Chain A
């Protein structure tokens, strides 16, 4: 297979001819921030975090869907790109209700990590505070739309890895949301195979395993009392 030579951030590298800029950069040890990209499913170029500058092309190109070409000169770290990345993250943080302190994904969240790495220490835009519901109808998993980034990773793994086709997107603009089957509670879905791949794919705490949220963190103090009573008074009062 033929190889292409190109430069990324001044570093000369060679890449497979059918590789994307993102793959070529990763091979060369250069990290380009991504959010909607997920190893194993096809790319959609939706989050716009991986945009790069290519000499001779006036438009910014998404690294995840742009193939490498011979002699390409790519910049991933210009002042403009860094500023746009931050703005994109700020827009995401302001769009829905991302409250890390009460989130199941706190500390394991890609949005949080990205914001931290890109130096987003405050958000300049007004928070939208939309009122999104939480779908807890499924036996094993939950979906909190307040934390959804609409990266559609869950949709893609559901269709193309599991092949179930449960997850989809409905509505448009800021009102777009992930749905199950024909926009019904997840628990009533006929197609969901309960495989949990969507939860594995989710970059934030929007999709989670049941029992992992803080509100589900319930203590069963009665149990202790029951044991003590049983031991000391030989009474088994349930």
Chain B
């Protein structure tokens, strides 16, 4: 494979492009509402109408507005525009399509009418998005490598192998300001440089696709919609750090993503884009899949590596960091799916272009999975620094049925709840941390006025309790105790002392746990306590051993218990 072969494939693909393209979403969300049936019906309808020469029915990745699926969009190629991506000719978007609608949809190509509900592709939900990671999502066929190659796929890998030294490449990633999209936001270039500098014959690259936060589906969508972008990113990273073997650790709950990754790896190997002597250079790189067995903690990098090695997935103390001693004790680079998907665009378009997007300390875009009490549920990609209000109110369309938004939960069980008053916060790593939440992997759950915050805290605590691996005491026993205390508060059996105990435990578990799971498990409680303390204190009962009622002003026991000032026994260590 040389660059000419790549161009040839792309040219052939462009030449074969027909006058109309009917794009039908084939990601897990739409597939669950029978988009496969829709696609088959559309193909039949095209054949019946005798339009095979003019119309292509293409199964594509996520088209983002998941709540209105199955989604179908019809593009027409104008003269000159060779590919839908390059033209701005995105046609009408049809929502909630059923197989029975196929004939009427195809008839619109000949001037007919269709009763199918039309979506607005110019709604802020679409127009306010800026796609880097999801640029191909919804346009290319994720099951065909040719489709990806036509969208400039594997060009970046070629350019890197031909024109850049690993050092220059790492320099470029550092300059771009890309930070890890898995949640913690560690500078990606720095991580690459550390692994690159490690002296070892054997190094590994791992893609963390163990997306486990409740309500998050960004990584799944990327893998289902554009698997090759992740493979290309991994290959570029491998070249930068000097690795020859990669692993994608993907959870078993994502069968479609696994199938598409399998197919993508096979195709890439067939074309010589993975394997030995890629692009006739001395660079070798292979990727294998490892399927997770359903443990949230395996998203933690050291637990993930243990699991890849076939051991019990429990974290271990760091240092040594994976960059020094990781998988099979070799230096290992671990990045998230979205991080890898950002790599090829940065190489193609330059570090300055990427650094020009976003805020001072958070560059580029972030994909969010918008879910919960919101009108437009789906996948969005926005520049860093976009105000939360813009995301939930303009793009998301606010709470359904005229409800009022109460809080937005980010970062899953490790994150926190941001109250409606703080909606003007720009979304980037640092501002969310300041609010006691985290960027996390990108789950964004919107809650309306009917949501009880103590309930929310209990839900996430139960999740962490069940998902704790059981290795260290604070996480294993502490989450269980906190869950018990939250139950007690919700049952109305708790006193101020219990609340105090809960808060003290939060800080203790946060500060003493072994890995990120335990260290962040108290965050949902702490952040709801910070912004919605009254919801907790309203549930408390009078404290039998609390301060005696003041005889002079005559306040009763109940009032004394409820009006107690926020606990003062909170350790100074907590931020």
Q: Chain A residues in contact with chain B, CB under 8 A?
A: 44-48, 51, 59-60, 62, 65-66, 80, 83-84, 87-88, 91-92, 94-95, 124-126, 128, 149-150, 152, 168-169, 171-176
B493 to chain A, nearest CB (A): 11
> Is B300 positioned at the interface, with any CB of A under 8 Å from its CB?
no
CB neighbours (8 Å) of B433 from chain A are none
Task: Please classify the interface of chain A as helix (H, G, I), strand (E, B), loop, or mixed, using the class held by over half of its residues.
Answer: loop
Structural contact, B317 and A62, CB atoms closer than 8 A: yes
Known pairs A95-B480, A172-B467; A60 contacts B511 (CB<8 A): yes
What CA separation (Å) do A168 and B311 show in the bound complex? 11
CB neighbours (8 Å) of A66 from chain B are 317
CB neighbours (8 Å) of B469 from chain A are 172-173, 176
Structural contact, A95 and B573, CB atoms closer than 8 A: no
Task: Please classify the interface of chain B as helix (H, G, I), strand (E, B), loop, or mixed, using the class held by over half of its residues.
Answer: helix
What CA separation (Å) do A193 and B466 show in the bound complex? 34
Mark interface residues in B494-517 (1 if CB within 8 Å of A CB, else 0).
000000010011001001111000
Residue of B nearest to A61 (CB): B317
Q: Interface stretch among B150-158, B167-175, B471-479? A: B471-479
B499 to chain A, nearest CB (A): 13
What CA separation (Å) do A15 and B21 show in the bound complex? 72
Known pairs A45-B472, A174-B480; A87 contacts B466 (CB<8 A): no
Q: Which of A51, A65, A169, A173 contacts B512 (CB 8 A)?
A: A51
Known pairs A45-B472, A46-B473; A173 contacts B513 (CB<8 A): no
Known pairs A84-B508, A91-B477, A174-B465; A47 contacts B472 (CB<8 A): yes
What CA separation (Å) do A51 and B518 show in the bound complex? 15
CB neighbours (8 Å) of A88 from chain B are 473-474, 508, 512
Structural contact, A92 and B484, CB atoms closer than 8 A: no
Residue contacts A-B, CB under 8 angstroms, 20 given = A45-B317, A46-B473, A48-B514, A62-B317, A65-B317, A87-B508, A88-B473, A91-B473, A92-B473, A126-B481, A128-B484, A150-B476, A152-B471, A171-B470, A172-B297, A172-B467, A172-B468, A173-B468, A173-B469, A173-B470
Structural contact, B470 and A60, CB atoms closer than 8 A: no
A59 to chain B, nearest CB (A): 8
> Is B162 positioned at the interface, with any CB of A under 8 Å from its CB?
no
Within 8 A of A (CB), among B529-571: 571
CB neighbours (8 Å) of A94 from chain B are 477, 481
Structural contact, A46 and B477, CB atoms closer than 8 A: no
B186 to chain A, nearest CB (A): 15
Apart from A46-B473, A124-B501, A173-B468, what are 18 other A-B pairs with CB-CB below 8 Å?
A: A44-B471, A45-B317, A51-B512, A59-B511, A80-B573, A87-B508, A88-B474, A125-B501, A149-B473, A150-B470, A172-B469, A173-B465, A173-B470, A174-B468, A174-B470, A174-B476, A174-B477, A174-B480
CB neighbours (8 Å) of B355 from chain A are none
CB neighbours (8 Å) of B480 from chain A are 95, 128, 173-174
Count residues on chain B whose CB falls below 8 Å from chain A CBs: 32
A41 to chain B, nearest CB (A): 14
> Is B312 positioned at the interface, with any CB of A under 8 Å from its CB?
yes
Known pairs A84-B508, A84-B511, A169-B312; A46 contacts B471 (CB<8 A): yes
Structural contact, A46 and B512, CB atoms closer than 8 A: no
> Is B84 positioned at the interface, with any CB of A under 8 Å from its CB?
no
CB neighbours (8 Å) of B477 from chain A are 91-92, 94-95, 174
B194 to chain A, nearest CB (A): 18
> Is B525 positioned at the interface, with any CB of A under 8 Å from its CB?
no
B456 to chain A, nearest CB (A): 20
CB neighbours (8 Å) of B118 from chain A are none
> Is B316 positioned at the interface, with any CB of A under 8 Å from its CB?
yes
CB neighbours (8 Å) of B467 from chain A are 172-173
A86 to chain B, nearest CB (A): 10
Structural contact, B481 and A60, CB atoms closer than 8 A: no
What CA separation (Å) do A168 and B470 show in the bound complex? 13
Within 8 A of A (CB), among B90-110: none
Residue of A nearest to B318 (CB): A65
Within 8 A of A (CB), among B349-402: none
A60 to chain B, nearest CB (A): 6
> Is B295 positioned at the interface, with any CB of A under 8 Å from its CB?
yes
CB neighbours (8 Å) of A128 from chain B are 480, 484
What CA separation (Å) do A41 and B166 show in the bound complex? 40
Structural contact, B512 and A60, CB atoms closer than 8 A: yes
CB neighbours (8 Å) of B473 from chain A are 46-48, 88, 91-92, 149
CB neighbours (8 Å) of B474 from chain A are 48, 88, 91
Residue of B nearest to A62 (CB): B317
B153 to chain A, nearest CB (A): 40
A115 to chain B, nearest CB (A): 13
Known pairs A84-B511, A125-B481; A173 contacts B476 (CB<8 A): yes
A163 to chain B, nearest CB (A): 17
A116 to chain B, nearest CB (A): 18
Residue of B nearest to A177 (CB): B470
Structural contact, B470 and A48, CB atoms closer than 8 A: no
CB neighbours (8 Å) of B514 from chain A are 45-46, 48, 62
